[in-house]
Every structure is written in C-alpha cells, then in structure tokens.
Amino acid sequence: MFGKRLYISRKWARRLLLVSGLILLFIPVSALVGAQLENNDAFCASCHTEPETTYYHRTQKGSLSDLAAFHAGEGVRCIDCHSGEGVNGRIHAMTLGSQDLLKFVSRSYPQPAPLTHPIIDENCLKCHQTVTDNRDFGNHYHIFMSKWHELDKDAGNCVDCHAGHLTDVAPQQAFLNEQQVGATCDACHTFVGRG
C-alpha cells in the first residue's frame, strides 16, 4: 500500500512538474509573440471595435485627416503612442491589450468602445521632448506643463489640445483642437490665479 501511494505521488509530481514547466514556458513565449504582433497596426485593429477601426482605416488612406494618420505616414505605429517608455511601458500596454483581448473573445466589450486609458504626456514626450525646450513666450504652456502636473492632478494633457483622432483640426497648426485649447489655457490660468 505504501509503495502504491509513493508511485501515485511520483506520478502526480511528474505531471505537476510537466504542467508547471509548460506554463512557465508559455508565459514568456506568449509575451514575445504578443510583443511582435503588437508592432503590426493591422493586428491590433483586428480585435478593436468602433471607433478604433475607423481610426485605423484613416491611417491606411495616406491622408492628413487626423494626427494619428499623420503619424502613421511618418512610420509611427499605434503601439508607439499607446505605450509608455521602455520595457515597463510596453508591459503595461500589453497588459491592457490582453484585457481588451479577453473582453473581445468573451464578447463582453461595450459598443462603442469607451476611452478607458487616455494617452499620457510621457507617451508623447518620448518623441516630442524638444517641444518643452523651446523657451519662447508663445510656448509657455509647454514650458510650465510639467509644473502644473506636479501641483494639479487634473492638469491639461498633450491630447487635450492635440487630439489624435479628431478630424476637424488643422494639420498646419499641429492638429490643434481650437475649442479645447482655449479651455485648457483658461484652466491653467485659473489654477495659477491669473485667469
């Protein structure tokens, strides 16, 4: 009887070891495959629903209809703007993408898809850091933006004025959303007591 129990225990231990090994192998392999797939805008768009599919199709037309289409024309991929800097930023984006994938597969995603994780300034500043280096008065918003963020959790963000997917903006004016620019300026000036 003791020998039989020992045999069963060893048998289950081997199975547990095999399953554990497969799981440990699956996680990094799937992360690497996911990272490669996320580099392809068409892959990301294949699971996204409205309004993202419309945004993706605009990038394929080669027009300057919105900021995202302009970026795509310059070789910038969706993941370049929709992930933070470095490995941690990419892991965070992949985690969000995995959650979206689960919602898509389980058909539990709302339509149209709500914005749940807006692009943060750090994502924009990966490529546009020099904007804050310009010390002209006309650029004073960009100069003081980081200070405003330190003091106010509701401070304006890059995408408040430079919306990525709006089509009623002027490409020659850095895709500025004119209506929102005034509101963002007013919010900052009010915050510092000069509004």
The pLDDT tens digits of the residues spanning 123-157 come to 999 999 898 888 887 888 898 888 898 998 889 99
Per-residue pLDDT at 194: 65
Residue 176, beta-bridge partner list: 170
Give me the torsion for CA of 105, 107, 109, 113, rounded to 10°.
Answer: 80
- The 3-class secondary structure across 72-130, one letter per residue, is HHCCCCHHHHCCCCHHHHHHHHHHHHHHHHHHHHCCCCCCCCCCCCCCCHHHHHHHHHH
DSSP string, 48-67: --TTHHHHHHHHHTTS-SSH
C-beta atoms surrounding 20 within 10 Å? 10
Does residue 47 sit in helix, strand or coil? Answer: helix
Instruction: Please give the structure tokens belonging to residue 71.
Output: 């970026």
Q: What is the DSSP string of 162-185?
A: S-SS-SSSBGGGTTB-HHHHHHHH
Q: Which residues of the chain have pLDDT under 50?
A: none
Angle at 109 between CA 63 and CA 160, to 5 degrees: 45
User: What does the block give as tokens for 66?
Assistant: 């919105």
Angle at the Cα of 143 from the Cα atoms of 173 and 190, rounded to 5 degrees? 90
b/e for 140-161, b at 16 or more Cβ within 10 A? ebbeebeebeeeeeebbbbbbb
The secondary structure of residue 69, as a DSSP letter, is H
CB contact at 8 A, 43 and 37? yes
Residue 101 has a pLDDT of: 80
pTM: 0.76
